[in-house]
Amino acid sequence: MYKKTILSICITTAILAGCGSDKNDSNKNILSPTSSDVTVSARQSVTVTGTLTGNDKDSDITFSIVDPDSVKLGKLVITDAAKGTFTYTTSASEGVEVINFKVSDGVNKDSISELTINIDGGDPLYTQQWHLNNTAQNSFSLGRGLAGNDLNVEGAISSGATGKGIIVAVVDNGVEISHEDLQNNVIAGGSYNLITGTNNPTPFANSAAHGTEVAGIIAAEGWNGIGGRGVAPDASLVGFNFLDQDPLCAQPTLDNFSTCLAGVQTFSNFAKSHGKSAFSDTARVFNQSYGYSPTLPFTADTDEDELMLDVVNHGPDGNGSLFVKAAGNGFQYFKFQNAYWAPSIAVIRGEDNNHGLPFHNANMSPDNTNVFNLVVSATNAAGQLSSYSSIGSNVFVAGAGGEYGVEAPAMVTTDRMTCTKGSATTNDRPSTGFMGGAHPLNEQCNYSSTMNGTSAATPSVAGVIALILSANPDLNWRDVREILAKTSTKINPELSPIMLDVAGKADFEAMGAWIDNAAGYHFNNLYGFGRVDATAAVNLARAYKVNLGVYVISDWTQKDKLDKAIPDGNPSGVTDSNTVLDNLVIEGVQIELNIDHKRLPDLAIELISPSGTHSMVMTPYNGFTYQGVADQTKPDEIVTGYVDTPMLSNAFYGEESAGDWTLKVTDVNNGQYSFWTQYRAGTAQNPTANKKVVEIPNDANGLLKGWSIRFHGHAAS
């Protein structure tokens, strides 16, 4: 009897030995595997790695889950079945998972034990923050997003890049620094009130929530059991109320007008809040969710630009800082001089789309045309350009800005505390169920679900930059731009170009599809290099070996006294070439234009590199419409066209500068043109009406008088 058993074992062992197992080579596998219970702790959205416990003294073993359906709160993956290693990720803010796993040797009885996962310290609103992890949640709106269209933050966070050690300055209308979900990330005594001189930049007006909402998108505290989470949940915050208003101005009169306007937006205060004071000179990232959208061309502010150049080059520890800037919210219409401007009333009613072109091209705002501002457009939860987002060749990347939060998701973030302040206030008929003080997750109205705009997209990118810098603090501002250009996601890859009918032919490309430039970077005027991908950016930041060399700004290469006619309504347009001798690897291209034209929205302005890359730096049918309302009796108001008007393109990033650059100016419209404005009453031209359709006549040729070009980059090898 025993002999037979021994023989049987020997045969079995011999068969198994043929499988090549080392242990089986020992002619064993008599013993059953053993296992023991395992307990791990997990945090919401942070991938946990662990090892199941099991053993078999005479055989190889395999780990597996007894019933995959028993994993209720997250996703469990056995990454190495032989070793029992696993990863676990959950979106739950709290809870306990008990999962049976088994250890098998293929012969003897399996051993079964429990894996217990304790989930704690999450953020209850995290699951509605589509920009962090888009699961097609509705974010308290009537609609849903499209899963996957997010900033891909989870991998970066799980890898340990959380923004820790990086200071982000929120330059806005103030920040409620005592907010329950911000206070632990706010540097005590580190903020500055530009009106009172105190260290509390909380806005004066109860309704002013913008900066607090922005701050939450950047660095709302994570895993504290309340609210949501910032993109960089461990980053530090300082706030400046550069856009706040003095409370004395609640009822402005002629008597207190001087006091009221003597508020905040001076160059001196710009300097204090943008890196040139003891309160702002430690910030590595400046969030600027502000801007202006003019209806006539302006020149750049040389002083602001130069101050920013100083800060990007000489910021904290010599690595410099980054300025992140909102592109604008004027795709359909915008506000300027307390009036609204739109291409037509039909656009506002949703009956027209202005040929698919932006009314506010981001290059219309001079503050968006310096290289030091990293200009951000907005995408929504469906992975499309947000309906309002300004765009242009100066956009560097796209962030998450959402829609309006009613029909489709906006951003879920911090709001002013209590139901008497901020965006969410006590209301029987709120814009969404989350906003009126009755929602169980927002009974104190400390959070908002309707924050949107490029104002929201900008801090989403500022947060990602904080993650990048926390992963590799030695990076400078140009390194970060390089990383973003290389890693941002090409969304809507099949995007079609916008074609216009000019002189009877519908073949004028007014705005291109995605391009791959000569240096291999993909670029598009809607999204720049694409939507930021936090995980890819952080991974590259850790492995970053590139040395961009010394930063060089070339001299302007000028062409003037050209006086070339721009034929009216003719797709041939006019071209002029500018030969550039300096050879830099391009990190940004600026031009300045001098063009006489009586109807600026007619003009499409395109820049073509020596490598053949085309960039539409100013799209036609834009909002440079002031010529239609200018008081012709006032010489100061008359707009002759472009006068030293700056524009920026990022489309040539990585290409070399030497060679012939071509400017093409095309007048696309020889017919009628009108726009709509809710304009000021009481001008000589417009004595009573304040809302009107304005026609701008023009059948004359324009005149290209001159243009200049310069480059930002480093010496080509």
Partner 1 sequence: MKNFKTVICLSVLLTSFVGTLAFAESNKAEKLEVADTKINEQNLVDRTSSTEGAYKVLQGDSIVRSDTLNKGQIVFDRLSQPSIVTGDLVIKLRDSASSETFAKDHGLSVSMNTESNLGVYTPISDAGLVKLLESIKKDARVIRAKLDKSTNKYQIQ
Site for partner 1 in 378-437 (CB under 8 A): 386, 388, 401, 404, 410, 423
Q: How far apart are CA 625 and CA 519, in angstroms?
A: 36
Residue 47, both tokens = 């991938």
Which of 565, 572, 680, 693 lies at the binding interface for partner 1 (CB under 8 A)? 680
Minimal distance in Å, beta carbon 281 to partner 1?
A: 11
Q: Which of 713, 596, 564 is nearest to 650 (CA)?
A: 713
User: Is there binding between residue 556 and partner 1 (CB under 8 A)?
Assistant: no
631 part of the interface to partner 1, by CB under 8 A: yes
CB of 525 to partner 1, least distance (A): 18
Residue in 93, 289, 380, 613 binding partner 1, rule: CB under 8 A? 289
Contact residue for partner 1 among 11, 543, 690, 699 (CB under 8 A): 690
What is the C-alpha to C-alpha distance for residues 400 and 205, in angstroms, rounded to an integer? 27
Nearer to partner 1, 210 or 522 (CB): 210
Cβ atoms of residues 109 and 99 within 8 Å: no
Distance between CA atoms of 646 and 715, rounded to whole angstroms? 24
Question: Residues 98, 262, 543, 715: which binds partner 1 (CB under 8 A)?
Answer: 262
State in angstroms the smallest separation of the CB of 467 from partner 1: 23
Dihedral through CA 417, CA 209, CA 173, CA 385, nearest 10?
Answer: 140
Q: Is 636 exposed, middle or buried (0-12, 13-18, 19+ CB in 10 A)?
A: exposed
CA 667 to chain CA mean position, Å: 33
Q: Is position 260 an interface residue for partner 1 (rule: CB under 8 A)?
A: yes
* CB-nearer residue toward partner 1: 57 or 634: 634
CB of 125 or CB of 471, closer to partner 1: 125
How do beta strands 515-516 and 236-240 pair? unpaired
The residues in 193-212 that bind partner 1, with binding defined as CB under 8 A, are 207-210
**360 vs 522, which CB is nearer to partner 1?**
360
- Contact range with partner 1 by CB under 8 A, out of 7-15, 33-41, 162-170, 266-274: 266-274
Q: Applying CB under 8 A, which of residues 23, 637, 640, 664 lies at the interface with partner 1? A: 637
Min separation Cβ 341 and partner 1, Å: 10
CB of 141 to partner 1, least distance (A): 14
SS3 213: helix
Q: How far is the CB of 626 from partner 1 (least distance, A)?
A: 8
Q: Is 456 in the site for partner 1 (CB under 8 A)?
A: yes
Given 18, 504, 635, 671, the residue binding partner 1 (CB under 8 A): 635
Q: Are 68 and 74 in contact (CB under 8 A)?
A: no
Q: Which single residue is written with the structure tokens 């923050």? A: 129
- Buried/exposed 428-458: b ≥16 CB within 10 Å, e otherwise: eebbbebbbbebebbeebbbbbbbbbbbbbb
Q: Which is nearer to partner 1, 34 or 685 (CB)?
A: 685
Report the DSSP beta bridge partners of residue 496: none
Question: Is the Cβ of residue 5 or residue 302 nearer to partner 1 in the bound state?
Answer: 302
Which of 82/681 has CB closer to partner 1? 681
Neighbours of 66 (CB within 10 A): 14
Taking CB under 8 A as the rule, does residue 291 contact partner 1?
Answer: yes
How many angstroms separate the CA atoms of 666 and 509, rounded?
Answer: 11
CA distances from 141 to 297, 433, 664 (A): 38, 8, 45
Of the listed 321, 455, 554, 649, which one is catalytic?
Answer: 455
Which residues lie closer than 8 Å to 164 by C-beta, 6 or more apart? Answer: 234, 235, 470
Catalytic residue at 172?
Answer: yes
Number of residues that bind partner 1 (CB under 8 A): 83
Structure tokens that stand for 327 in this block: 């592109």
Give the shortest CB-132-to-partner 1 separation in angstroms: 19
Smallest separation (angstroms) from partner 1 to the CB of 541: 27
Q: Is residue 263 within the footprint of partner 1 (CB under 8 A)?
A: yes
- CB neighbour class for 19 (10 Å; exposed up to 12, middle 13-18, buried from 19): exposed
Given the residues 105, 123, 172, 667, select the one marked as catalytic.
Answer: 172
In sequence order, the 6+-apart residues with CB closer than 8 A to the CB of 379 are 149, 385, 386, 389, 398, 399, 400, 401, 457, 491, 527, 531
What Å distances lie between residue 577 and 580, 648, 660, 663, CA to CA?
10, 17, 6, 6
Q: Compare residues 16 and 395 and give the one whose CB is closer to partner 1.
A: 395
Tell me the closest approach of the beta carbon of residue 131 to partner 1, in angstroms. 15
Find the binder of partner 1 among 241, 369, 380, 454 (CB under 8 A): 454
The nearest distance, CB 180 to partner 1, in angstroms, is 20
Distance of closest approach, residue 199 Cβ to partner 1, in angstroms: 19
Question: Residue 455 catalytic?
Answer: yes
| β-pair partners for 642 | 595
Q: Which of 121, 292, 515, 614 binds partner 1 (CB under 8 A)?
A: 292
248 binds partner 1 (CB under 8 A): no
**How far is it, in rounded angstroms, from Cα 345 to Cα 177?**
41
Question: Minimum CB separation from partner 1 for residue 333, in Å?
Answer: 6
693 interacts with partner 1 by CB under 8 A: no
Q: Which of 57, 83, 98, 267 binds partner 1 (CB under 8 A)?
A: 267
Tokens of 562: 């050209």
**CA-CA distances (angstroms) from residue 182 to 196, 228, 230, 464?**
22, 10, 9, 17
Instruction: Name the one range near partner 1 by CB under 8 A: 454-462, 472-480, 555-563, 594-602.
Output: 454-462
Give catalytic status of residue 563 as yes or no. Answer: no
Q: Quick check: 257 binds partner 1 (CB under 8 A)?
A: yes
For partner 1, the binding residues in 297-356 under the rule CB under 8 A are 302-303, 306-307, 309-310, 313-314, 326, 328-329, 333, 335, 337-338, 340, 342, 345, 348-349
User: For the chain, first and last CA: distance in Å?
Assistant: 84
SS (H, E, C) 373-411: EEEEEEECCCCCECCCCCECCCEEEEEECCCCCCCCCCE
Nearer to partner 1, 73 or 170 (CB): 170
CA-to-CA distance for 332 and 343, rounded, in angstroms? 8
Q: Which stretch binds partner 1 (CB under 8 A): 92-100, 263-271, 570-578, 659-667?
A: 263-271
Among residues 406 and 700, whose Cβ is nearest to partner 1? 406
- Active-site option among 35, 105, 113, 210: 210
Instruction: Please select the residue that binds partner 1; options are 68, 69, 258, 581, rule is CB under 8 A.
Output: 258
User: Is the Cβ of residue 336 or residue 521 nearer to partner 1 in the bound state?
Assistant: 336
Say if residue 22 is exposed, middle or buried (CB neighbours under 10 Å; 0-12, 13-18, 19+). Answer: exposed
Using CB under 8 A, which of the segments 94-102, 228-236, 287-295, 570-578 binds partner 1?
287-295
How far is residue 577's CA from residue 607's CA, in Å, rounded to a whole number? 10
135-194 binders of partner 1 (CB under 8 A): 172-173
Task: Quote the tokens at residue 611.
Answer: 């490598």
Least CB distance to partner 1 at residue 588 (A) = 19
Among 451, 461, 536, 580, binds partner 1 (CB under 8 A): 451
Q: Which of 455/622 has CB closer to partner 1? A: 455
| Closer by beta carbon to partner 1, 94 or else 246 | 246
Which amino acids are annotated catalytic?
172, 210, 455
